[in-house]
């Protein structure tokens, strides 16, 4: 009987020791080694040397760590015209109006013009109007030319036609005026040419909008283009 209790006690001690050993081994298994963060010139260096200064705009997505492929950080105004332009740097207005004007984004570099058009888009037409409550065609062109190009125009469409220099249709470029009416002596409407035969204007039916010179209504009333220089 004593031998039985003696043997039983040894088995209990052995089982307890085995559980403790197993628990210690499991605890060690769950422990993960921490990967040290390398430092370069006293600063943390993560993911192959990519470093970005807070508050700046990253214009490159990859960096191999070499000087040749160093990440370029642009501190310029993203709305400003950029040299070596690419679509990744496009202003949202350029993308929007490229679709509306059926033109490539690269051709719409004058963001100030697009911003002003966006500001006045849909403003109702009224003869003699010059506010965002309502505006007429010559009031709109005078406002746009002054705010975007710093060019002063007379108030009426006829006066704007008389003051501008005549240009051929194939010479039209952004900022030129396009005139409509029954003749050069009776100009009844004016707009600002943008690109791809499209022009901004305050139309009597739709207010401030984009139209196309090839639309039948405008094509039969088109008198010609004019350029005003400072």
Residue numbers annotated as active site: 137, 189, 201
Going 41 to 44 to 45 to 50, the CA torsion angle's sign is negative
Instruction: Collapse the DSSP code of 68 into the 3-class scheme (helix H, G, I; strand E, B; otherwise coil) and give the result.
Output: coil
CA dihedral angle for residue 53, residue 59, residue 60, residue 61, rounded to 10 degrees: 80
Beta bridge partners of 50: 46
Q: Rounded CA gap, 190 and 202, in Å? A: 8
**Residue of 196, 200, 223 whose CA lies nearest to 211:** 200
Instruction: Collapse the DSSP code of 41 into the 3-class scheme (helix H, G, I; strand E, B; otherwise coil) and give the result.
Output: coil
Backbone angles phi, psi at 89, to 5 degrees: -100, 10
Q: Are 142 and 163 a contacting pair, CB within 8 Å?
A: no
Q: Rounded CA gap, 64 and 48, in Å? A: 7
């Amino acid at each position: 009987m004593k031998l039985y209790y003696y043997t039983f006690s040894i088995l209990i001690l052995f089982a307890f020791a085995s559980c403790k050993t197993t628990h210690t081994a499991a605890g060690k298994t769950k422990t993960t080694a921490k990967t040290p963060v390398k430092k370069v010139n006293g600063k943390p260096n993560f993911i192959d040397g990519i470093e970005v200064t807070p508050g700046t705009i990253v214009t490159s997505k990859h960096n191999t760590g070499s000087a040749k492929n160093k990440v370029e950080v642009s501190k310029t105004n993203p709305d400003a015209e950029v040299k070596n332009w690419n679509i990744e740097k496009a202003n949202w207005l350029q993308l929007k109006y490229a679709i509306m004007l059926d033109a490539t984004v690269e051709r719409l570099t004058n963001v100030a013009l697009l911003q002003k058009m966006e500001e006045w888009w849909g403003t109702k037409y009224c003869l003699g109007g010059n506010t965002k409550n309502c505006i007429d065609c010559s009031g709109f062109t005078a406002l746009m030319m002054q705010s975007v190009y710093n060019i002063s125009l007379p108030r009426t469409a006829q006066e704007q036609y008389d003051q501008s220099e005549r240009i051929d249709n194939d010479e039209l470029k952004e900022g030129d005026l396009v005139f409509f009416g029954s003749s050069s002596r009776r100009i009844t409407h004016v707009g600002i040419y943008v690109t791809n035969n499209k022009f901004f204007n305050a139309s009597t039916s739709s207010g401030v909008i984009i139209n196309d010179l090839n639309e039948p209504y405008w094509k039969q009333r088109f008198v010609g283009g004019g350029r005003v220089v400072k």
